[in-house]
Amino acid sequence: MAAPKIAPSMLSSDFANLASEAERMVRLGADWLHMDIMCRHFVPNLTIGAPVIQSLRKHTKAYLDCHLMVTNPSDYVEPFGKAGASGFTFHIEVARDNWQELIQSIKSKGMRPGVSLRPGTPVEEVFPLVEAKNPVELVLVMTVEPGFGGQKFMPEMMDKVRTLRKKYPCLDIEVDGGLGPSTIDVAASAGANCIVAGSSIFGAADPGEVISVLRKSVEGSQNKS
């Protein structure tokens, strides 16, 4: 069984105080810190790059779960490996021809490879990457169109999660987009175990309570299955 992992999305944090925000999230029970890397080409937004990861790494030992919404993920592997990224998740839509080399490269730099898919991409596209001799170790199912925080959760994406969980009982399956106390049960019961949540955690009066609610929902669903 894949362990529950709650990953606050640092895109929703106070960027001027990133180190203290990271420390606060870990203290409140976060397992991972989710870092959104956007290049303005794959998605119409620009966020952070390797220098910010490198700076943050000096202040935290936390698992930095990096989601690269970029058109050329292979260009980012070396800098992110050097910067101290823990996980490197690329999009299948930009890696259909070179995912094998990309996975190898990510692992050679000491990072854990993951693959993500946009809402419009069929889940079958990631099967070969999970079943490969040198596989990805995480699949991120986007539950909103990637690019911006604060969007509405798309429950129809849960069919992808259910398909993946049935096929791969021990796989880390991550969901990202619109997750919070009102949507977690749907995602958890579908089989997601890695939960990315931004505004629902950082915008809460008690972020630690939200992290706890998300974790309990995943644990509860796993205990039922």
Per-residue pLDDT of the chain (225 residues; tens, 9 = 90+): 899 999 999 999 999 999 999 999 999 999 999 999 987 777 777 788 999 999 999 999 999 999 999 999 999 999 999 999 999 999 999 999 999 999 999 999 999 999 999 999 999 999 999 999 999 999 999 999 887 666 789 999 999 999 999 999 999 999 999 999 999 999 999 999 999 999 999 999 999 999 999 999 999 999 987
Judge whether 32 and 4 are in contact, CB under 8 Å.
no
Judge whether 191 and 165 are in contact, CB under 8 Å.
yes
Q: How high is the pLDDT of residue 33?
A: 98
The packing angle between helices 18-27 and 50-57, to 10°, is 60
- Asked whether residue 59 is marked as a ligand-binding residue, the answer is no
In this structure, what token pair is assigned to residue 101? 């080399």
CATH number at residue 43: 3.20.20.70
- Asked whether residue 176 is marked as a ligand-binding residue, the answer is yes
Which domain range does residue 121 map to?
5-223
Local structure of 63: helix, strand or coil: strand
Judge whether 15 and 203 are in contact, CB under 8 Å.
no
Q: How high is the pLDDT of residue 48?
A: 87
Annotation marks residue 14 as catalytic: no
- Asked whether residue 80 is marked as a ligand-binding residue, the answer is no
Catalytic residue among 31, 36, 65, 172: 36
pTM of this prediction?
0.96
Annotation marks residue 36 as catalytic: yes
- Asked whether residue 12 is marked as a ligand-binding residue, the answer is no
Q: How many domains does the chain divide into?
A: 1
Catalytic residue among 31, 65, 172, 176: 176
Q: How high is the pLDDT of residue 148?
A: 65
Q: How high is the pLDDT of residue 146?
A: 80
d(CA 134, CA 5): 23
Judge whether 98 and 74 are in contact, CB under 8 Å.
yes
- Asked whether residue 180 is marked as a ligand-binding residue, the answer is no
